[in-house]
Amino acid sequence: MNKILNKILVLLILLGGFFILDAREISVSKNGIVKTIKQALQLAENGDVIIIHEGYYAEGNIIVDKSVTLKGVNFPIIDGKGSGEVFTINSDFTSLYGLTIKNAGVSFIAENAAIRLNEVTGCKIIGNRFYNNFFSVYLSKSSNSIIKDNFIKSSGQRETNSGNGIHLWYCKDISIENNYIFGHRDGIYLEFVENAEIKKNYSKNNLRYGLHFMFSDRCVYTSNKFENNGAGVAVMYSKNVEMISNLFYNNWGPASFGILLKDITDSKIEHNRFVKNTSAIYIEGCNRISIKKNNFENNGWAIKLMANSSDNIFRENNFISNSFDLSTNSRSNFNTFEGNYWSEYSGYDLNKDGVGDVPHHPVRLFSIIVEQQQASLILLNSLFIKTLDIAESVIPSLTPEMLIDTKPMMKVLK
Amino acid sequence: MISIKNLDKKYGSLHALKNINLHVNPGRVTAIVGPNASGKTTLIKSILGLVKPNAGSIEVMGKVINGDCSYKKFIGYMPQSAKFPENLKVREVVNLIKDIRGTEPPLANEISEKFNLTNEMNKLFRTLSGGTKQKVSALIAFMYSPKILILDEPTAGLDPVSAGTLKNLVREEKERGRTIILTSHIMSEIEELSDEIVFLLEGKIHFEGDIESLLSNNNNEKLERIIAKMMMVEAV
Amino acid sequence: MNVTLKIIKYEFSNILRSKWLIIYTLFFLAVSYSLFTFGGDSGKALVSLMNVIVIIIPLISIIFGTMYLYNSREFVETILCQPISRKALFIGVYLGTVIPLSLSFAAGVLIPFFLSGNYDEINTFLLLMVTGIFLTIIFTAAAFVIGLKNDDKVKGLGFAIFVWLLLAIVYDGIVLFVIYIFQDYPVENAVLALSILNPVDLGRILFLLNFDISALMGYTGALFQKFFSGNAGILVSSASLCIWSALLILWGLKSFDGKDF
């Protein structure tokens, strides 16, 4: 009786597993019947759940071409042993939960990943741990997938032999949420991605960029933390990007940025905090960006604005104790500054409306000198330079005369 | 006691002392007189080592002074106008000098009482009058009863009573056999106190000798007249 | 030396009664207290404090030193008539000025620092203290040289302020000028040499680099950082400060020794 029922079930699954709600479970454990994941995958059918019990599985190059769910119990360790990939997912609707994946192989030819999603849709990678992988999560031409609650750590020493934490290439509608990414080349990398939502991630101590994206339009980045990455965050050649409520902290070094913006248009950078970055925002060739309600504190440069940028709006930001609030390489200005708070502002407010009565010139003469002669930075904080700056602010002769905040705020904006 | 040979001092283009040769005898009071800017104070300061001469040598008590400061323990000095650090108390300066010399001044109490300084000891110098400062200066110079006393205009700024006290001190020290050099513009004072006189004019010694013979050679005219005459002769 | 100690002691009791010294202490107390309390993180507060120190200490030391030397002329004359060598007296008067000034500065910054209860930056704070004291030593010695070379008080004071302006402001103008003139050459070493020659700049730069400001300077900064954080840099910087101190003190001593009072 049972055997017949089983056969019918198998038949039904084979015919169209998608209609079956009760998925089968396959257990993998070191002392069970099924001892390896590969074995389990051979047995599995679409829709099955493979439970991987605690233990050490020295298995690499696992190819998943069935829509299964892989669930770890107490984080079983799957070790790729440094050769090739660990999981290559070729089937839609595949999910991976609670696994520890180690040692996807470093290679100069192949971009080996701990988990690669290869032209799939509807996949989930949730609550896994990644250690010392070349690339950790790699999505290639995939869509509608979720990468969430993962802990990703690598100990790359050099950019050349280190891959990215989460890498997306030609993807669409991806959600990346609440992941911790440490010690990769780029924490999160997106190229030719549309409609991605990157939320509440923490990207720290990555060798190059905490977040790096190019040609990725209509993506939203909110409430992420980017800390102490080699060069901060780089954002290039994209449109309609929203970066909101992120923290850019301590991206400090000769070529580090909070955010480097290159050829970005029609985007929003709002409610972010930039603390102790060498350059909080570097803007080159960008148009129509709204930079609003951000806090810039204790940065080397709060904003480096290159002359090929125009129609950007800087409004209601706080500029507090930065070595330079703003530097630019041109005497003309095609951007708007209005209603910001500048801790450097020395004007007065006679009518007590909270708005300074004289406009503020945020570009110091010294920032222009430094732009021309790097070595002159050695004179920072010198009384001579302060004297020069005061003289220049009285009669602007080298700084952009029209680059002014007409409504400088008297108090820090909340 | 003090012997000066070929002493020469220039302040820039000003030739203050020109080849001075002088011998100050022990146990005598020698007055140095001369008009203003004749080099009196420079001569005194050279002996004290305050001014560094350009040429010549000074011997004090048989030893050439040359950077060595030990001979100063035999000298008491009252400068022309007494000035002290404003924020120090009289007692502190007196104590400092005691500390430097390393011995107790035998006459300190006696002289303080004579000048009524006992109650001034704990006052700051900036609260003292010019006269009181001058008395402190006298105290400092006399309290060790030094072998040599150098007094630059000692009675200037003192009230008559104190001036009298000071003169008595000079006499007492003379009786003790001390060698005393003083300058003054008051000729009666010089006549009263001195044994010998040195007349200085434009950095040169024009007369050197004892007062008695000077007076007798000039028909016992007043010293003031004799000195005035000497100046007139020079001027001609 | 024993006599020198006595002179220092007396100078001390004189100078400690000076209201300027009290104002000087209160000034540092107020500045450091407000910076440590309201200045945000302690690193930032220290940078701001250092900016005040490298300007104020040279200014006050050179003016106070010159004034003080003029005012203690009578004292010097009185004491010189006593059996004391000129060298001992000079050292006594000099240390009697430098020590109270240094203590006054040290008290003014130390008390707020301890009150702040934040000792994370203790090394940097010590660097600040040492720099401040060296600047006091150097600029008081400079003041003494100026005071001894000029008998006219107004001239002396004018000269003192001129020297301060020269080292605190004009010098940096010259550095900037050099940077522009030689912009086609690797100018870093020349700038480095120039900044080591000026004790004010040296103090400022040592501090800048201690706070990683070098990152703002790119390659140049890396070079400076490497120099100043390496043993050679520390050695050269300390040597520069010591040589300045020694030269000026010796010059003062020589002037004092040959001076007519």
pLDDT digits (tens, 9 = 90+) for B93-116: 888 888 888 888 888 889 899 888
Q: What is the DSSP string of C150-165?
A: --SHHHHHHHHHHHHH
- Domain range holding C182? 2-257
Give, for A5, the enclosing helix (H) or strand (E): helix A2-16
Q: Do residue B87 and residue C18 have CB atoms under 8 angstroms apart?
A: yes
The encoded tokens of residue A117 equal: 């999603």
* A136: amino acid identity, one letter: S
More confident call, B69 vs B111: B111
Kindly tell me the number of DSSP H helices and DSSP E strands found in chain C: 12, 0
More confident residue, C83 or A57: A57
ipTM: 0.83
Chain B residues with beta carbon closer than 8 angstroms to that of C81: 48, 50, 72, 75, 77, 79
User: Considering only CA atoms, which of C153, C146, C139 is closest in space to residue C97?
Assistant: C139
Distance between CA A61 and CA A116 in Å, rounded?
A: 10
Q: What is the mean pLDDT of chain C?
A: 86
Given a cut of 90, whether residue C166 has pLDDT beyond it is: yes
Identify which of C195, C204, C222 has the shortest CB distance to residue A381: C204
Q: Which amino acid, A19? A: F
| pLDDT value of residue A4 | 66
Cβ–Cβ gap C260/B73 under 8 Å: no
Nearest to B99 among C6, C71, C73 (CB): C6
Rounded Cα–Cα distance for residues C74 and B84 (Å):
6
Which ranges in B49-195 belong to alpha helices (H)?
A: 90-101, 108-114, 130-142, 160-175, 187-193
- For residue A380, which residues of chain C lie inside 8 Å, CB to CB? 208, 213, 216
The answer, yes or no, to whether residue C165 has pLDDT greater than 70, is: yes
Contact flag A381-C171 (C-beta cutoff 8 Å): no
Chain C: residue whose CA lies nearest to B83? C74
Identify the pLDDT of residue B199. 87
In this prediction, residue A17 carries a pLDDT of 44
Option in A323, A374, A385 nearest C172 (CB): A385
Asked if the Cβ–Cβ distance from B97 to C18 is below 8 Å, we say: no
Q: Are A129 and A100 in contact (CB under 8 A)?
A: yes
pLDDT-derived band at B70, boundaries 50, 70, 90:
confident
CB A185 within 8 A of CB A206: yes
Are the beta carbons of C83 and B73 separated by less than 8 Å? Answer: yes
| C-chain residue closest to B48, CA distance | C81
Residue B222 — φ and ψ, nearest 5°? -70, 145
Q: Name the neighbours of C, counting chains with at least 3 Cβ pairs within 8 A.
A: A, B
CB A60, CB A79: distance < 8 Å: yes
Q: So what's the pLDDT on residue C14?
A: 76
φ/ψ (deg, to 5) at A156: -60, 140
Check C75 against B140: CB less than 8 A apart.
no
* Percentage with pLDDT > 90 across chain B: 10
Tell me the pTM: 0.79
CA-wise closest residue to A206 among A254, A140, A162, A253:
A162
- Number of compact structural domains in chain C: 1
Distances (CA, A) of A199 to A28, A150, A222: 33, 13, 5
Spell out the domain ranges in chain A.
19-230, 268-414
A378 closest CB neighbour out of C50, C191, C222: C191
Nearest Cα to C10, choosing from B128, B132, B121, B99?
A: B99
- Residues A321, C170: C-beta atoms closer than 8 Å: no
Average pLDDT, chain B: 86
Closest by CA to B80, choosing from B29, B30, B36, B41, is B41
- Pick from A10-19, B177-186, C241-250 the range whose average pLDDT is largest: C241-250
Minimum-distance CB partner of C260 among B52, B97, B101: B52
Q: How far is B8 from chain C (nearest CA, A)?
A: 14
Q: Which of A318, A382, A389, A390 to mutate to test the interface with C (most CBs of C within 10 A)?
A: A382
A194 and A176 in contact (C-beta within 8 Å)? no
Assign domain A19-230 to a CATH class: mainly beta
A305, amino acid identity? L
Neighbours of A2 (CB within 10 A): 6
Q: What is the mean pLDDT of each run of 10 residues along chain A (414 residues)?
A: 61 50 82 90 92 93 94 94 92 95 89 94 96 94 96 82 92 96 95 95 94 93 94 92 94 87 95 93 95 93 92 95 88 91 90 91 89 83 87 82 90 89
Task: Identify the pLDDT of residue A5.
Answer: 62
Q: Which residue of chain C has the CA closest to B46?
A: C260
Nearest to A321 among C40, C55, C173 (CB): C40
For residues A147 and B234, which has the higher predicted lDDT (pLDDT)? A147
Would the CB atoms of B100 and C72 count as touching at under 8 Å? no
Q: Do chains B and A touch (3 or more CB pairs under 8 A)?
A: no
